[in-house]
Amino acid sequence: GAVVSQHPSRVICKSGTSVKIECRSLDFQATTMFWYRQFPKQSLMLMATSNEGSKATYEQGVEKDKFLINHASLTLSTLTVTSAHPEDSSFYICSARDFQRERGTGELFFGEGSRLTVL
Amino acid sequence: GNSVTQMEGPVTLSEEAFLTINCTYTATGYPSLFWYVQYPGEGLQLLLKATKADDKGSNKGFEATYRKETTSFHLEKGSVQVSDSAVYFCALSEYTGNQFYFGTGTSLTVIP
């Protein structure tokens, strides 16, 4: 079964509002989680690496004030899209590593994804 | 540096046809290799993986062999089904870091 869960799976909001997406590791502790963005018919783009108890590491070109990441516990990371605009509409996917399950392979476990539509 | 190059799609096949999706990689160390599948509107699911040279990953009739000499990890299935329609991503990971590299994805559509 799923080991990483995202919520909500779909969200529609008005331009200018903020939206929070949650990513939970269900039965393991994830000191690091990753947030990806996926445009239609394209691959995943790593936005940031979320580290429990410290600041997230953002990839070049990703606005940290626009995409706020908080990793307050070992099982929860949140992505908040602040003052959302239509160009922020996208599919956002989180992932995490479960070091016990992956047994050193580096495998990532992905959430179901969250479809954000900004009107 | 590390990278993954994947066959571009879209690919359209008839049911029961043979599938190959090419994937080659560049890595500085000894990566693990993965194929992930993304069904419409969903996140990514691991399809199969291989962690060292000559390993063969297999799942649901799909196979891929880790070929170090050709730096390849091609995905194959002998007889595709309509339910295999999805986007397939080749990826590599090096355990020494938190780096994970994806190919661009290949969209597969299987028609009855």
For B36-61, how does the pLDDT look when each residue is reduced to its tens digit (9 = 90+)? Answer: 999 988 888 999 999 999 999 999 99
- Distance (Å) from the C-alpha of residue B51 to the closest C-alpha of chain A? 6
Given a cut of 80, is residue B98 above it in pLDDT? Answer: no
Of B43, B93, B105, the CB nearest to A111: B43
Question: Under DSSP, is residue A102 helix (H, G, I), strand (E, B) or coil?
Answer: helix
Question: Under DSSP, is residue A101 helix (H, G, I), strand (E, B) or coil?
Answer: helix
The pLDDT value given to residue B30: 83
Among the listed residues A22, A6, A23, A14, the one whose alpha carbon sits nearest the alpha carbon of residue A83:
A14
Q: Which residues pair with B3 in a beta bridge?
A: B26
Mean pLDDT of B5-20: 94
Taking an 8 Å cut-off on Cβ atoms, the answer to whether B104 and A42 are in contact is yes
**How does strand A44-51 pair with strand A32-38?**
antiparallel
Mean pLDDT of B58-78: 97
Model confidence band, residue A42 (pLDDT cutoffs 50, 70, 90): confident
Given a cut of 70, is residue A2 above it in pLDDT? Answer: no
The pLDDT value given to residue A20: 97
The pLDDT value given to residue A95: 93
Torsion from C-alpha of A59, B94, B77, B58, nearest 10 degrees:
-130
Strand order in the sheet with B56-59: B19-21, B75-77, B62-65, B56-59
Taking an 8 Å cut-off on Cβ atoms, the answer to whether A106 and B94 are in contact is yes
Please work out, in degrees rounded to the nearest 5, the angle formed at the alpha carbon of residue A114 by the alpha carbons of A108 and A118.
145
- Tell me which of B44, B48, B102, B108 to substitute to probe the interface with A (most A C-beta atoms closer than 10 Å): B44
